Amino acid sequence: MMYIDPHIHMSSRTTDDYQAMQKAGIVAVIEPAFWLGQPRTSVDSFRDYFSSLVGWERFRAGQFGIRHYCTIGLNSKEANNEALAEAVMELLPLYLCKEGVVAIGEIGYDDMTPTEDKYFRAQLELAKETDMLVLVHTPHRNKKAGTSYSMNVCLEHGLKPSQVIIDHNNEETVQEVLDRGFWAAFTIYPHTKMSNARMVEVVRHYGCDRIIVDSSADWGVSDPLAVPKTAQLMIERGIPKTHVQAVCYQNALTAYGQSGQIKEQDWLNPPAVDQRQLFSGNSVLRGQTPVISNEQPRNPVLIE
């Protein structure tokens, strides 16, 4: 079984994570732009970060046999710095047209401030102008109301529900998201948000249509193997394998495949892995013997 992790912040992860993910069957990742854990002080830090998402990180993933895609956007937390946000809005169009960019995101609300609302709406207008998908970050507090409002705003700005992935869902939000025709993504964290076991019950209750499982693994306590681990638990607890394949692979491919930037052939017929290659003079190796291979595993197994 193959997996896609459609929301993981690999710039925060190590090469060990890439190796473990590839071994567990993850063939592709989508990395949404997000905050650093501390405030950025210059638009140039955004420029360098966006460049790393479409450049170095894409290269680094490929060195471990994983295809890398990203979403580009001004995240809700940093939207509250209005002067900086204005500069970032000028920067975004330069990156949205880059190879491997599948959506604008992750954007939305954190504290539901007027400034967050202003830049969420501005980026939705940009998505409409460029005919791009949108990845929405729903607020951690007052999530049900915030999720409803996020969808209302998307519709106000003329986006189709099929163009919008609503992430960080839980049991309180999933019914409305599905009823209104949006994609419902779930972040699986070890101790917060959704657990593996809770996700099993969501799929058991709601089925697999338009539901997406991701890890959102970042620099905090999180698990880059959350998708394959959740898949294994689903199978152990009697969820049909077709449903597991849908929520842990196919739905992400179908949703983000609308961008034209991500295709199954990207990993079914991948370029050769050659760790002798350099990116701007840099290698992923530190003295190790480089891996050179024309073949990638086509039938990875579920981890134990």
> Residue range 81-108: average pLDDT?
97
Q: Number of C-alpha atoms within 13 angstroms, CB side, residue 10?
A: 35
Side chain identity, residue 247: V
Average pLDDT over residues 3-22: 96
pLDDT tens sequence across 209-233: 999 999 999 998 899 999 999 999 9
Question: Cα(11)–Cα(17) distance, rounded to whole angstroms?
Answer: 11
**How does residue 272 score in pLDDT terms, banded at 50, 70 and 90?**
confident
> pLDDT confidence of 301, banded at 50, 70, 90?
very low
CB 232 within 8 Å of CB 226: no
CA 169 to CA 167: how far, in whole Å? 5
pLDDT above 60 for 303: no
Residue 199 has pLDDT above 50, yes or no: yes
Read off the pLDDT band of 190 (50, 70, 90): confident
User: What pLDDT, on the 0 to 100 scale, is given for residue 299?
Assistant: 39
Q: Name the amino acid, one letter, at 242.
A: T
Closest CA to 261 of 28, 5, 73, 8: 28
Residue range 21-39: mean pLDDT, rounded: 95
DSSP state of 193: B
Task: Report whether pLDDT(31) > 60.
Answer: yes
Lowest mean pLDDT of 55-69, 149-163, 188-202, name the range.
188-202
d(CA 165, CA 134): 6
Q: 33 pLDDT band (50/70/90 cuts)?
A: very high
- Residue 119: pLDDT above 80? yes
Pick from 70, 114, 72, 68: which is nearest to 93 by CA?
Answer: 72
- Kindly indicate the confidence band of residue 189, based on its pLDDT and cuts at 50, 70 and 90: confident
Cβ proximity of 45 and 39 under 8 Å: no
* pLDDT recorded at residue 4: 98
Reported as a pLDDT band with limits 50, 70 and 90, residue 302 is very low
All domains of the chain in start order, with CATH:
3-268 (3.20.20.140)
pLDDT at 141: 84
Q: What is the pLDDT of residues 146-164, one digit of tens each?
A: 999 999 999 999 999 999 9
Q: What is the mean pLDDT of residues 243-247?
A: 98
